[in-house]
Every structure is written in C-alpha cells, then in structure tokens.
Amino acid sequence: MTSDNLVTRVDIDSLGMGRFSGTERDAAVARVLAAVDDPALRGGDFDRPYALMVACDFLEMDGKVDRAVELLRRADTENIRRRNMEPLTRLAALLHKQGQTKEASAIFRRVVKEGLADWTDYDLYADALDESGDQAGALQILVGGQERLTRQGNALFAAQLQRSIDRLRREMGFPDAPAAPHPDPGRHDKEGDPRTLFWPHEDFERLSQRWPQIAEKYGTDWDNHRSRVELAGLQLAGEGSKLHLLYADFTAFARLVIQRPDLADPIDEYFEDPALDATDSPWRTERNAPCWCRSGRKYKQCCRRFGMGSQ
C-alpha cells in the first residue's frame, strides 16, 4: 500500500471535525477502525487510542451503541489507552446512558481505584449521569473527584472541575460556593487581558511546512498546540483570570513575512495585527457549545477531552 493510502492523524482529525456525512462518514469510520486493527494501514503519526475514541463517538451518534461498547471493551483488554483517553470511562458513560447503571458504576470505580482517572474522566462520567437525569449523582462524582485530585496534589485539575460543580449547583437550586480569593489584580495589569495566538489545524500544518522553526514555538504538532492552549486557559482560570484567543491565518502571516523581510521576529508584529480574528468572549467554552478550535464539534467532544492528551 502506498503512503498516500495510509490512515494518518490528519485523517482522524478530519473525521473528528465532522467533515463527512452520510455514507462518506460511514466509510471514514470504517477506514479508521480498519487501521486500528491493522498496523499495515497506519501512517507514521497514527494515534490508536485517539482513532478508536473518535470512531466510537460517531458510532454512538449513529445509534450503533452496541458496536461502540464492543470496541471499548476490546480497547481495555488490549490496553489501547493513554492519558485523557481511558476506554473504561467512556464505556461506563455509555452503559449508564443505556440504563446499565450498576455495571457502569462498577467500571468507573475500577477506573478510580486503579489510578486511571484524571479530571476529564470525572467530568465525562458525571456528564453521562447528568444527561440521564441524575444530577445529584453527577455532583457527587465531581466533588469526590475534586477532593481526590486535591489530595493527589493536582490542584490545577481539581480547579477545572469547579466549573462543572458550580453549573450543577446552580441548576439544582443551590447557592454558589464561596469564590476563591482573586489573585493580585496587578499580576496581569501590565499585560491587560491575557491573549494567545491559536493556529487552526490547516493553518498550523502550513506553518509547520513553511516555517517549522516558528511552528515549534507553538507546539510539536497541532494536537500539542491545542493542548498548550487548553493548559494555559486552565491555569489562568485557576488564577481568576481569562484567556482570549486570537485566530491566526497563515495566508495573512505569510504576506507579512514576505512584505517585511526586515522583521527580526514577524510573530511580534503579527500579534498586533488589528485584522486578527479574536474571540468575542473570553475562553473557555461551555461544554455543549461549539469547540473553540472551530472544528464544529461540541467542546466536550473535542478539545476538552482530547486537547490535553499530549501534555
């Protein structure tokens, strides 16, 4: 098989970003799953856990839950997992939404007991309970996860769960928990609103090909790039501040570099370009809103789950 026919990370991303529909999507899912099974079909950057999770997302959306459950059980058996892509958590969430709550609960207890859970696992399983109408159970999962992560010294990840806890408490009619002390407001006064350049997938790939030394400043690859944005937003949120995204455009940046060859660092100049497309509101995105990376998928199904996987 020629390299052009191998399944790569770009193919997985294209599926995950919803670029296919109908029979084309069915074919794309089948192609990705075939590569999960057969190493000969994989490109060099093929990510097996990520491929399986994306495929299961679409199987669930298409009502093929039994097939998704089968694949997730197999992923556990064959240890197809990595950080932020724990198949047992996804399996527990799916089973709970299908009414198999006892087995779902037992599976998630195993995730916690075996030390496989980080904040995304608590959040994903709690989300399944919430969608099924068990808000009290979801809140219990989130609070318990936050306490456990705090004891483990993962203060940033524990803080990330606070957003979901606050939302559930409001929906259940509870008063907001006391706000954490706000950091010294002078900390960001010199910078104003914290901002960062975000390169959409196609723009990052073009930047990497044309100016790899510049792209490396933003990430080893696009997944790592969006991971860094996730982490920066999480850190600032924990400090009581907010991150604003400036959406970079490769064509506009290339035009600047060509027109201004005298610039020692064209990024500094581009960062101040008033034409940069900026977020209308501070990042981070609500869980059911379109993802901030503009993939078209829900945030909870896109960068919230996968964005920190390459840290």
* Residue 193: how many other CB atoms lie within 10 Å: 11
Q: CB–CB of 211/256 below 8 Å?
A: no
Q: What mean pLDDT is predicted for residues 13-39? A: 89
Q: Which of 278, 308, 273, 270 is nearest to 294 (CA)?
A: 278
Task: Give the contacts of 117 (CB within 8 A, at least 6 positions apart).
Answer: 86, 89, 111, 145, 148
Residue 118 — left, alpha, or beta (φ > 0 → left; ψ -120 to 50 → alpha)?
beta
Q: Are strands 244-247 and 277-278 parallel, antiparallel or unpaired?
A: antiparallel
Give tens-digit pLDDT for 200-227.
888 999 999 998 888 888 888 888 888 7
Question: Does the pLDDT at position 191 exceed 60?
Answer: no
Confidence of residue 1 (pLDDT cuts 50, 70, 90): low
Question: Does the pLDDT at position 307 exceed 50?
Answer: no
Q: Which of 73, 67, 167, 85 is nearest to 127 (CA)?
A: 167
Give me 172's structure tokens.
């259940």
Which range of 103-107, 185-189, 242-246 scores highest in mean pLDDT? It is 103-107
Question: Does the pLDDT at position 95 exceed 90?
Answer: yes
Q: Which of 292, 128, 158 is nearest to 237 (CA)?
A: 158
Q: What mean pLDDT is predicted for residues 79-105? A: 94
Angle among Cα 262, 264, 269 to the nearest 5 degrees reads 90
CATH 1.25.40 positions along the chain are 3-171
Mapped onto helix, strand or coil, the DSSP state of residue 103 is: helix
Question: Does the pLDDT at position 128 exceed 90?
Answer: yes
- Min mean pLDDT across 10-14, 103-107, 229-233 is at 229-233
Confidence of residue 182 (pLDDT cuts 50, 70, 90): very low
Comparing 43 with 235, the larger pLDDT belongs to: 43
Comparing 232 with 255, the larger pLDDT belongs to: 255
Q: What mean pLDDT is predicted for residues 296-308? A: 70
Percent over 70 (pLDDT), the chain: 86
pLDDT score at 226: 84
pLDDT score at 306: 52
Question: Does the pLDDT at position 175 exceed 80?
Answer: no
Residue 34 φ then ψ, to 5°: -65, -40
Q: CB–CB of 123/92 below 8 Å?
A: no
Q: Which of 248, 268, 253, 274 is nearest to 211 (CA)?
A: 253
Question: Does the pLDDT at position 159 exceed 90?
Answer: no
Task: Give the contacts of 283 (CB within 8 A, at least 6 positions apart).
Answer: 229, 233, 242, 243, 244, 245, 292
Question: Does the pLDDT at position 109 exceed 60?
Answer: yes
Confidence of residue 180 (pLDDT cuts 50, 70, 90): very low
Q: CB–CB of 204/218 below 8 Å?
A: yes
pLDDT score at 64: 94
Comparing 260 with 191, the larger pLDDT belongs to: 260
- Min mean pLDDT across 9-13, 142-146, 204-208, 259-263 is at 259-263
Q: What average pLDDT does the chain have?
A: 83
Q: Rounded to whole angstroms, how far apart are CA atoms 207 and 293?
A: 17
Confidence of residue 166 (pLDDT cuts 50, 70, 90): confident
Give tens-digit pLDDT for 250-290.
999 998 888 888 877 888 888 888 778 777 566 667 777 88
Strand order in the sheet with 277-278: 195-198, 244-247, 277-278
Residue 82 φ then ψ, to 5°: -160, 175
Question: Does the pLDDT at position 57 exceed 50?
Answer: yes
Architecture of domain 3-171: Alpha Horseshoe (1.25)
Task: Give the contacts of 74 (CB within 8 A, at least 6 positions apart).
Answer: 80
Percent over 90 (pLDDT), the chain: 39
